Structure 1
Amino acid sequence: MNRTPDLIDAAREQWSGIHPDVDTASIEVIGRVLRAAAVLRRKLDSTIAEDGLNRAEFDLLCALRRSGGPVTPGRLNELTVSSGAATTKRLQQLADRGLVQRSTDARDRRSARVQLTEHGQEVIDGIFPRAIAAERSLLTGLTTRQQKALAGNLAELLHAVEGP
């Protein structure tokens, strides 16, 4: 496949001059995944920022909306790949804005549950379609076939690094 060299190709070439004994093939995948993620995030963040949210808050609200009911902060950590401290801070900020509410678990008073408020659900339901439209527009340079192949390959990569 012929393609235009990119910054990752240039980085590999530069590293080969500095460390010719180091195999930099991993940069082909990792470097591109990380760079693509950074570029995509920068372009998509403006869509959600219009509603006063950052990416981490948006991801947390999406996780709550998809869950369909109260969940533990620990489960939110897993769903958003966040630390407990970061999730706690975000939940407090979102609660202060009336987007989420916490309650004590009736069966285990030491455990909390978090859910969207009605306002939080309205906010995320308003933002989500616009966020998906923005994502779709960023993928227009790829054919449907390329998108499906890339999605499959990225799923395999995630499985390899996260496990089953």
Structure 2
Amino acid sequence: MIAPESSNTDFISRLRRSWKQALPELDTTPVELMGRINRISALSTQQLDRVLASSGVSRSEFDVLCALARSDRPLRASEVTAQTMLSGAATTKLTARLDDAGLLRRQRLERDGRVVLLELTDAGRTLVETQFPRCLDQERQLLAGLDDTEQADLARLLRKVSGAAERTLLDQGF
């Protein structure tokens, strides 16, 4: 578990001070932003895990269910993998568990048995419809200190960072 921060400085500020002492010649400016993005992600993930604990599904399993809930048709396992950024092996493992739990159905495509189609069951849809609003509430709490304009500005800036990260991966052949 990540320890709470003191009121006068945050973890990333303390981290940068530590790096300044350990390696004073390095410019740790990227840590100011990327460190906070990663820390926010870790804290948000911990809170989301708590929200989902009562549902009996993990965050990764919930991501799979949400990908299916957003679709107007059954999805290929490879499409779910692409949307969730899970590995193919993880998608296979998670969907097998979700199938056993009655939350989705896995069906082989008749014309190509290598292709697995996934679709939500009624129980899976009910779980998403119950849990997703709870997840949104948790995220709203994280953003409560920002007004609407600040949230829009932050979304615009993070969209630029996200786009640069995606382009970098593509340029590197990933």
Normalising by structure 2, what TM-score? 0.86
- Unaligned segments of structure 2, at least 5 residues: 1-7
What is the deviation of 1:53? 1.5
Q: Percent identity?
A: 38
Q: Give the match for residue 106 of structure 2.
A: 102
TM-superposed CA distance for 1:44, in Å, is 2.4
Aligned partner (choices 61, 64, 67) of residue 68 of structure 2: 64
Deviation at residue 78 of structure 1 after TM alignment: 1.0
Equivalent of 1:127, from 127, 131, 134? 131
Alignment match of 2:156 (pick from 142, 145, 152) = 152
Return the alpha-carbon distance in structure 1 between the equivalents of residues 49 and 23 of structure 2.
37
Q: Distance in 1 between matches of 2:15 and 2:24?
A: 13
Q: How does 1:17-96 map to 2 (within 5 A)?
A: 17-96=21-100
Secondary structure in 2 aligned to 1:124?
Answer: helix
Q: Given residue 140 of structure 2, which amino acid in structure 1 is its aligned partner?
A: R
Which deviations, in whole Å up to 9, do the C-alpha atoms of 1:59-114 show, x marking residues without a partner? 11001110222111111111011111111111011001000111111332221111
Q: What's the secondary structure of 2:118's corresponding residue?
A: strand
**How far did residue 152 of structure 1 move?**
1.2
Hey, what does 2:145 align to over in structure 1? 141
Q: CA RMSD in A?
A: 1.7
TM-score where L is the length of structure 1 = 0.91
Q: Secondary structure at the match of 1:104?
A: strand
Tell me, which stretches of 5 or more residues in structure 1 are unaligned? none
**Whole-angstrom CA distance in 1 between matches of 2:89 and 2:141:** 34
